[in-house]
A = this chain, B = another copy of it.
Amino acid sequence: MGRWQPDARGRLARAALELYVERGFDRTSVAEIAERAGLTERTFFRHYADKREVLFAGSSALQEVLAHAVAEAPGSATPLDAVAVALEGAAAVLEERQEHARQRQSVIDANTELQERELIKLASLSGTLAEALRERGVDEASAGLAAEVGIAVFKFAFRRWVDRTEEKELAQFVREALAGLRAVTADA
């Protein structure tokens, strides 16, 4: 294998996820991931800090999508409208990698340390949303609340999508969860 390795990053990510699903996260080594991808450990560490990071490397892309969508939402959008637009944008990104998202979730569900890391990631997405709302001029309290609730809705919708009891797009689950939120708050 030459020095030029097309899509080394993607190959490593796919090899890692395959192994995590087959053997479990704890029982997979970086050496095995590199071998499965037909690459060296050194190449692995050029792309990822450790074997955990493979699972969370997409999170900064998601943050950008959320921040950008909130910034671009129409001036007339309420805070929750802006959050809804952002969540649909994030859903579209994940939708393209449905099988990856589901396998990744099954690996995380099997490992407490990864669950903790995933929750931290969700908390940071909430921080991103809140910051983007404040930059639209939304007051501190409404921004924080809309962001926190938005991420709760997304978490709920994502779980339903991953559990795949119905064949629907993630964006559809997000819309239903937002409608459910309105119903649940309206009659309370």
Task: Please report A residues at the B interface, Cβ cutoff 8 Å.
Answer: 78-81, 84, 112, 115-117, 119-120, 123, 141-142, 144-146, 148-149, 151-153, 155-156, 159-160, 177, 180-182, 184-188
| A51 CB → nearest B CB, Å | 17
| A156 CB → nearest B CB, Å | 5
Contact of A152 among B84, B149, B177 (CB under 8 A): B149
| A118 CB → nearest B CB, Å | 9
A148 pairs with B155, CB closer than 8 A? yes
B142 pairs with A148, CB closer than 8 A? no
B119 pairs with A78, CB closer than 8 A? no
Closest chain B residue, CB of each to CB of A160 = B141
Which chain B residues border A84 with CB–CB below 8 Å?
Answer: 188
Interface of A is mostly: helix
A149 pairs with B181, CB closer than 8 A? yes
B180 pairs with A185, CB closer than 8 A? no
Contact of A116 among B78, B120, B146, B159 (CB under 8 A): B120
B180 pairs with A141, CB closer than 8 A? yes
B185 pairs with A145, CB closer than 8 A? no
Which chain B residues border A123 with CB–CB below 8 Å?
Answer: 115, 119
Q: Are A185 and B188 CB-contacts (below 8 A) given A152-B148, A153-B145?
A: no
Which chain B residues border A119 with CB–CB below 8 Å?
Answer: 116, 119-120, 123
A187 pairs with B148, CB closer than 8 A? no
Q: A79-B184, A144-B156 are in contact. List 8 more A-B contacts (CB 8 A).
A: A112-B120, A145-B181, A148-B155, A149-B149, A149-B184, A182-B188, A185-B185, A185-B186
